């Protein structure tokens, strides 16, 4: 069984105790990684602080060049990283609508390249006979990263790339469910970066808590659940760490009656079952006008019935398993609650027998708000389709949530759709698409879906502190 070390101060670190990493398609271990401790976090922070002066002293162009080297290294190792991702997440190598390990590694490369080209120039807000006033963006120091299991490589690099470009050093914890690809990337990256600039420690919640509360870490970027985000926020208060939190969502999509059901159904299916539903901004509540409700549901069910659920290493697999048993059990529980409430299951609804954490794509109708499947984030391959008759009521129901990560409007009337999009209480809203993020457009959440944002110069700025310099000429 392959072993993947932690990286601290440029050195490979193993421990006597190990964590077995499960392939969710088989339920069996395929790799092992070390069990990090708070002491390993301390060691990583010491290394990161020692590396910070020299790294932050490099010019922007020098750090930019390093990021481009990292992107090239990702590309050179793409086949290996894709296979590791599929083994630890279960997602197909290619997958339905091209959403799989290839997309994740390819997206990681693209994001690294785009981030490298992002700048925060000095802003001159006054320059006259009295004074010159400049606003500078300075690196924060050591950035702590805690990343999730659903997109383990890409989200980790969303954290690392802007932090490094801004001149910070990083101490990171990947999910213990999916640490392998991130550790392999760190090993590759440390052939390019100076020792101590990027450190990765694996472990359970103790390691995450040690990072969140560490007095010598200056910022935390966290992607994960709302409950854990609140714990991170509380732990980070000890030294008033800066925070970027991208938390859970229960994204709503509203389909207007002017669309063609046959045309829109494949698009809706793709964004509902994006990464098997295991994406923060997947479409999780679908509101469809009563005039086209039955036809949209029927068309989506027909797609679901032709999906191949299987091992992601097989070329023709559309959707793989859920990543872990705990998440599978949540989906099973939500399906059972919906069934007890009288909902209709057009497809799926039961976990597959045999090894692995498989649950078929499931379309649920005759369901409404107040049911757990509608009100809670399912984070899996099960989607409630809710009938509505009045658009104002649909907007109200879509906004009736403690979260506000993403949302979408589907219509042929783009002017009306844009107006309705502005009424949704979500950090990102799309028209005729969903979860269509890009590296130059900011992404963040409203309400309990997070604090701050990522991507573009907005996300880069979150990895800096502002310094104002006033030069008096009087």
E strand or H helix at 209, and its extent?
helix 205-213
**Dihedral of the CA atoms 244, 453, 450, 224 (nearest 10)?**
-70
For residue 102, being part of any structural domain is answered with yes
Please tell me the predicted confidence (pLDDT) of residue 474.
83
- Cβ-contact 221, 236 below 8 angstroms: no
Structural domain contains residue 324: yes
Q: Which residue in 88, 104, 280, 299 is the catalytic one?
A: 280
Counting runs of H as helices and runs of E as strands, what totals does the chain give? 15, 25
Residue range(s) defining the domain that contains residue 468: 2-247+449-472
List the structure tokens of 158. 């969303």
Residues 407 and 461 grouped into a single domain: no
Determine, yes or no, domain membership for 120: yes
Based on the domain organization, do 172 and 230 belong to the same domain?
A: yes
Predicted pLDDT at 453: 97
Those residues of the chain that have pLDDT short of 50 are none
Distances (CA, A) of 215 to 45, 133, 211, 450, 458: 10, 33, 9, 23, 26
Beta strands in 291-365 (DSSP E): 344-345, 362-365
Interatomic CA distance for residues 139 and 57, integer angstroms: 10
- Beta-carbon contacts of residue 132 (< 8 Å; ≥ 6 apart): 124, 126, 470, 471, 473
Token pair in block for residue 254 = 């509203």
H/E element holding 206? helix 205-213
- Kindly give, in sequence order, each residue whose CB lies less than 8 Å from that of residue 320, ignoring residues fewer than 6 positions away: 24, 25, 86, 89, 90, 91, 92, 95, 276, 309, 310, 311, 312, 358
Q: Which of 88, 246, 454, 462 is catalytic?
A: 246
**What single string gives the DSSP state of each residue in 348-412?**
--SPPSSSS-----EEEES--TTSHHHHS---SSEEEEEEES-HHHHHHHHH-SSEESEEEEE-S
Together in a domain, 133 and 203: yes
Q: Are residues 242 and 315 in the same domain?
A: no
**155, 297: one domain:** no
Residue among 295, 304, 303 at smallest CA distance from 387: 295
Question: Is residue 444 in some structural domain?
Answer: no
Q: What pLDDT does 164 receive?
A: 99
User: What is the distance between the alpha carbons of residues 130 and 67, in angstroms, rounded to a whole number?
Assistant: 40
Whether 190 is in a domain gets the answer yes
For residues 91 and 104, what is the distance between their CA atoms, to the nearest angstrom?
10
Give the burial class of 438: count Cβ atoms within 10 A of its Cβ; 0-12 exposed, 13-18 middle, 19 or more buried: exposed
Q: Would you call 246 a catalytic residue per the annotation?
A: yes
Does 369 lie in the same domain as 239?
Answer: no
Q: Are residues 73 and 154 in the same domain?
A: yes
451 vs 91: CA distance, rounded Å: 29
Residues 35 and 18 sit within 8 Å (Cβ to Cβ): yes
Sign of torsion over alpha carbons 216, 222, 224, 226: positive
CATH of the domain at 318: 3.40.309.10
Would you state the pLDDT for residue 74? 98
- Both 263 and 241 in a single domain? no
On whether both 192 and 97 belong to a single domain, the answer is yes
29 shares its domain with 168: yes
Output the six-digit token pair for 337.
């609650």
Q: Is 220 helix (H, G, I), strand (E, B) or coil?
A: strand
Domain count, the chain: 2
Q: Are residues 292 and 218 in the same domain?
A: no
Domain containing 232 — which CATH number?
3.40.605.10
Whole-number pLDDT of residue 181: 98
Q: What is the pTM of this model?
A: 0.97
pLDDT for the residue 260: 98
Residue 163 lies in a domain: yes
Residues in the chain: 474
Give the sign of the dihedral formed by CA 272, CA 274, CA 277, CA 282.
Answer: negative
Residue 76 resides in a domain: yes
The verdict on 139 and 220 lying in the same domain is yes
The Cα–Cα gap between 416 and 430 comes to 13
Residue 453 annotated among the catalytic residues of the structure: no
Within-domain flag for 72: yes
């Amino acid at each position: 069984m392959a072993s993947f070390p932690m990286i601290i101060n440029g050195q490979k670190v193993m421990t006597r105790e190990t964590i077995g990493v499960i392939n969710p398609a088989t339920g069996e271990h395929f790799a092992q990684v070390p069990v990090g401790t708070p002491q390993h976090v301390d060691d990583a922070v010491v290394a990161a602080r020692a590396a910070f002066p020299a790294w932050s002293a490099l010019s922007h162009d020098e750090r930019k060049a390093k990021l481009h080297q990292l992107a090239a290294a990702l590309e050179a190792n793409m086949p290996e990283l894709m296979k590791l991702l599929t083994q630890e997440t279960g997602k197909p190598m290619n997958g339905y609508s091209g959403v799989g390990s290839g997309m994740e590694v390819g997206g990681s490369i693209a994001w690294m390249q785009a981030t490298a080209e992002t700048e925060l120039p000095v802003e001159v807000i006054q320059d006259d006979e009295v004074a010159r006033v400049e606003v500078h963006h300075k690196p924060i120091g050591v950035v702590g990263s805690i990343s999730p299991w659903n997109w383990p490589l890409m989200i980790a690099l969303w954290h690392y790339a802007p932090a490094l470009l801004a001149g910070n050093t990083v101490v990171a914890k990947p999910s213990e469910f999916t640490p392998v690809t991130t550790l392999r990337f760190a090993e590759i990256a440390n052939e390019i970066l100076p020792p101590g600039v990027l450190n990765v420690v694996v472990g359970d919640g103790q390691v995450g808590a040690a990072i969140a509360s560490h007095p010598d870490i200056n910022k935390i970027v966290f992607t994960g659940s709302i409950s854990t985000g609140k714990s991170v926020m509380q732990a980070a208060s000890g030294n008033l760490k800066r925070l970027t939190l991208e938390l859970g969502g229960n994204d709503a999509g509203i389909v207007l009656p002017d669309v063609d059901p046959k045309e829109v159904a494949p698009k809706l299916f793709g964004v509902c079952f994006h990464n098997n539903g295991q994406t923060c901004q997947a479409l999780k509540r679908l509101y469809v006008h009563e005039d086209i409700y039955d036809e949209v549901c029927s068309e989506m069910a027909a797609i679901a019935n032709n999906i191949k659920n299987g091992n992601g290493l097989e070329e023709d697999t559309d959707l793989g398993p859920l990543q872990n048993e705990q998440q599978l059990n949540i989906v099973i529980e939500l399906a059972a609650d919906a069934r007890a409430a009288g909902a209709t299951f057009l497809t799926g609804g039961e976990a597959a027998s045999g090894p692995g954490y498989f649950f078929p794509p499931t379309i649920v109708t005759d369901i409404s708000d107040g049911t757990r499947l509608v009100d809670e984030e399912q984070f899996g391959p099960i989607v409630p389709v809710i009938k509505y008759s009045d658009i104002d009521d649909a907007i109200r129901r879509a906004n009736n949530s403690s979260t506000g990560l993403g949302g979408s409007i589907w219509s042929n009337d783009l002017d009306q759709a844009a107006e309705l999009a502005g009424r949704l209480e979500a950090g990102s809203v799309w028209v005729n698409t969903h979860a269509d993020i890009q590296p130059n457009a900011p992404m963040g959440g409203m309400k309990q879906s997070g604090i701050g944002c990522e991507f573009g110069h907005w996300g880069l700025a979150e990895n800096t502190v502002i310094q104002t310099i006033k030069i008096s000429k009087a």
